[in-house]
Structure 1
């Protein structure tokens, strides 16, 4: 509880009883704390569960060994688990699902901003490719709003495996470092953040 209070997710207001001056302890969720609720529309719970999973926490303990290994491993994650993150997730369904759920949760917040602030950008487009689109959270919303626009979710094969498109929405598996499907517009969202130096070296993605 101390960690939650220190992080600003929970507050501890002082409450005096009506019968005396004794202080009763109680806790309330802050606005940030409400993002942790499972049923919250903009819940960050999946992202936090992913970030705090032991598999993703372990690389933080391997930085020393990774630095000492030089170029033997491409990332701290590979030092901890023997392979880069994407290779690990491909053969570990639990981690693959956990990561996809985390990205889907983040995408809901991005989608709300895009629809309210950037809706005009998509008007007139005949096709859109969501590169690194995961399970297609944002693209599904855009496909419904713009039925005349062909929407493609493009991600690694194991990410989109088993996902079925319908109407103007489809899924394509592949590697964006090799080739990206054609579209009037390409949406990258958080890809640049994922490829920033620190995350790239940490996860090897």
Structure 2
């Protein structure tokens, strides 16, 4: 006797129509990402900035030197980017119909403006271009095949599985030199954003410190900001040779080429800022163990500062961003995002005796971890 076909709960008319609309959104979200990529490639945020932060569609067309026939299409793209929160519509203080076709920068699009020299302005265009690159999207498209594979030993990320290279590794340059440079630039911009906020909100983090090593500190942007705000702190940057070779020799920051898995320069404190979420729990323990070797006892002021995403149980856009970043780490690296319990377990496994979550700033948590 054939088994009965499973039944399904039929949605109400209103639920069915809403479900279809939601399905459209989820299926087509990639067009928002591609629209954002397009806006950056065209230079739209920078063009609006050059107009003083607000401009009309015709003026934007002229500034971008786009064919007049494309104006209606650009208007449609801008409309969806306004709806998704990338840009704002209208003037700052007026809601008249005459200003309905104006587009202006908001906090999100301001961090996509290039060519601006200002404290704490770190353009995020490289991060977006890397995250929406064909290499990233192709890895994500291979997720279903990756899940089906029964792989013995360490499980490679979908990125590694598809491309045969590991992100943030020398093999990335062998895969594509332009991608490697874009990823390096995007990572630096991403990591440096918000350091001023951290120093203002967590000023005591650097109180009494004499020396600090910024692991994976890139060109020293964060270290120089710390030294500027706290001249008594002697900062050292540890990063890979390919990064250190391009770092400025300004005499303010000491640069050391190396690998944090093998050795960390000795200092009173070590900083890991948005580093550990790229690595597995096992690798995080190895990294933290090297950091522990580099610092003195807690009584002598020794500590490791971990600044990283802390997933919480709240709802809303920030929580959604945390979860999307977690899947991004799954697709592109062997890392993941962690809640406070996960972080506590890693600190303990690495041999630390105590920690304190100093503050949660947006998605980031600022930890002091004590030997």
- TM (norm. structure 1) is 0.80
Q: What's the offset of the Cα at 1:164?
A: 4.2
Q: Is the 8 A contact 2:218 2:247 kept in 1?
A: no
- Corresponding position of 1:27: 103
Q: Is the 8 A contact 1:90 1:158 kept in 2?
A: no
User: Is the counterpart of residue 62 in structure 1 residue 142 in structure 2?
Assistant: yes
**What SS does structure 2 have at the residue aligned with 1:36?**
coil
Distance in 1 (alpha carbons) for counterparts of 2:87 and 2:125: 15
Q: What's the offset of the Cα at 1:183?
A: 1.4
Q: 1:83 to 1:46 in 2, by over 3 A?
A: closer
Q: 1:3 to 1:65 in 2, by over 3 A?
A: farther
Q: What's the offset of the Cα at 1:59?
A: 0.9
Q: Is the 8 A contact 2:278 2:333 kept in 1?
A: no
- Corresponding position of 2:88: 11
**What SS does structure 1 have at the residue aligned with 2:195?**
helix
**What SS does structure 2 have at the residue aligned with 1:176?**
coil
Tell me the number of residue pairs that the alignment of Structure 1 and Structure 2 aligns. 200
Distance in 2 (alpha carbons) for counterparts of 1:126 and 1:3: 50
Q: Which has the higher contact order (CA 8 A, sep 6+)?
A: 1
- Corresponding position of 1:77: 159
Distance in 1 (alpha carbons) for counterparts of 2:278 and 2:80: 27
**5+ long unaligned stretches in structure 2:** 1-76, 281-325, 335-371
**What SS does structure 2 have at the residue aligned with 1:172?**
strand
Q: What's the offset of the Cα at 1:78?
A: 0.8
Q: What's the offset of the Cα at 1:119?
A: 3.0
Post-superposition CA distance 1:15-68 (Å, at most 9, x none): 535xxxxx9644333332322222463533232122122222221111122223
User: Is the counterpart of residue 136 in structure 1 residue 220 in structure 2?
Assistant: yes
When structure 1 is superposed on structure 2, of 181-190 and 65-74 the one drifting more is 65-74
Pick the structure with greater CA Rg. Answer: 2
**5+ long unaligned stretches in structure 1:** 18-22
Distance in 1 (alpha carbons) for counterparts of 2:109 and 2:150: 40
